[in-house]
Amino acid sequence: MAKSDRSVSNWLFLGVVLVFFQVVIGGVTRLTDSGLSITEWSVIQGTLPPFNEVEWNDAFEKYKVHASKQYLSLHADMDLSSFKVIFFWEYFHRLWARMMGFAFLLPFLFFLSKKRLKKRIIGRLGVVILLAICAATFGWIMVASGLNDDSRTWVSAYKLIIHLGIATTLIAYLYKTYLISLNDEAEKSFKFFPAINSSITNKDILGSIKFGRVVLFILFIQILLGGLMAGMRAGLLHPHFPVFVNFDRFLLALDAMNQSLETEIVNYEPSSSIKAIVQIFHRSMAYLLLIISVVYGFYLNKRNLLNRYSKTFLVVLSIQFLLGVLTIVNCFGSVPVFYGAAHQAVALILLMSLLRFDHYLLQTNK
């Protein structure tokens, strides 16, 4: 293999883009209550949507039966044309996943046959394939958790964050693989990296890497808490910022644990207590992430490492915080689809911007 193969790097970047949109489409599917509209999982037959009125009515009837709690609670007055809208998002989400499989597998076999993949990249791609299989499998496990259960309006929020966690790990690992595929010579020739200041020591770089990994860990936990917020519709409990307008009511929600905590956690739909706790955790983690990132920025600036990559992370973080505020203050009656989906999308961009800077530090430390 040549020292630099842009076609492989471009293919890996395409994979990152495809996974990114898959996660965003999944977010829209969740926010539009579309996730239970398709009640069966079929790899081959599931590729084709209903084609005529009979097939559409059959799919609608299956939804009414297998997702009866959601149908009766949210869509009791739904007609067939409205059902087609929520069906579209779940179908689009599944179809995009299948399309990703072909877009990844066929070029992978081609590059492999032409021996244009380094051993390290092949090993990492094996992990990518495993993560993709896990994400798809747990996606169905998540959907199945909301079917044929008269006590559940939506899919399990806990299974949702596992699915989201796997998908987030997948995009992070694939993006890192893309970065690794760009070796030093290619990166310098394409001017991906700014020149390193000669006054910067290895100790400064290693310290910055360790600090950045702490920020990365907090960000990952915050993404999972965001999934829990969405899965429980916890934002609806108190859509106010920055103060708790109905603070007494909020405290009552925390105290309203008539059953054991374990029961409240498992049966969270009727519980205000667990949703209140989740919202407090998510808000608190947002402040923690913001504060520690600002401190990280000062730390980098002092060591002459505040470059375009670290600045990008800080700018994207500011946008993400603003989108979080706009999402929460618009949670009246339902979670706003646009702000909620944008908030999730920018979270992934934020993750990748931090990984980009981490990769830069690792390269300069060689």
All structural domains of the chain with their residue ranges: 1-192, 193-366
The whole-chain average pLDDT of the chain stands at 85
Residue 66 confidence (pLDDT): 87
Is the per-residue pLDDT at 216 higher than 90? yes
Residue 78 confidence (pLDDT): 86
Give the list of residues 6+ apart from residue 37 with CB closer than 8 angstroms, or none.
Answer: 59, 63, 67, 83, 86, 87, 89, 90, 91
Which tens digits make up the pLDDT trace of 87-102?
A: 999 999 989 998 998 8
Q: What angle is formed at CA 216 by the lines to CA 325 and CA 6, rounded to 5 degrees?
A: 105
Residue 114 confidence (pLDDT): 86
Average pLDDT over residues 321-340: 92
Instruction: Specify the 3-state DSSP secondary structure of 51.
Output: coil
Give the list of residues 6+ apart from residue 210 with CB closer than 8 angstroms, or none.
Answer: none
Residue 249 confidence (pLDDT): 56
Full-prediction pTM beyond 0.85? yes
Which tens digits make up the pLDDT trace of 131-183?
A: 999 998 988 888 888 888 777 778 888 999 999 999 999 999 999 999 998 86
Residue 193 confidence (pLDDT): 52
| Structure-token pair, residue 310 | 């670290």
Residue 144 confidence (pLDDT): 86
Residue 251 confidence (pLDDT): 59
Count of beta carbons in the 10 Å neighbourhood of residue 58 = 12
Reported confidence tier of residue 254, pLDDT bands at 50, 70, 90: low
Q: How far apart are CA 181 and CA 186, in angstroms?
A: 9
What percentage of the chain exceeds 90 in pLDDT? 44
Is the per-residue pLDDT at 247 higher than 70? no
Which tens digits make up the pLDDT trace of 281-301?
A: 999 999 999 999 999 999 999
Q: By the 8 A CB rule, do 56 and 80 touch?
A: yes
Is the per-residue pLDDT at 188 higher than 50? no
Dihedral-angle region of residue 21 (phi above 0 means left; psi in -120 to 50 means alpha; beta otherwise): alpha
Residue 262 confidence (pLDDT): 64
For residue 87, the surrounding DSSP H or E stretch is helix 80-113
Which tens digits make up the pLDDT trace of 32-59?
A: 888 888 888 776 656 788 888 898 999 8
Is pLDDT larger for residue 6 or for residue 171? 171
Is the per-residue pLDDT at 335 higher than 50? yes
Is pLDDT larger for residue 219 or for residue 204? 219
Which tens digits make up the pLDDT trace of 66-86?
A: 888 888 888 888 889 989 998
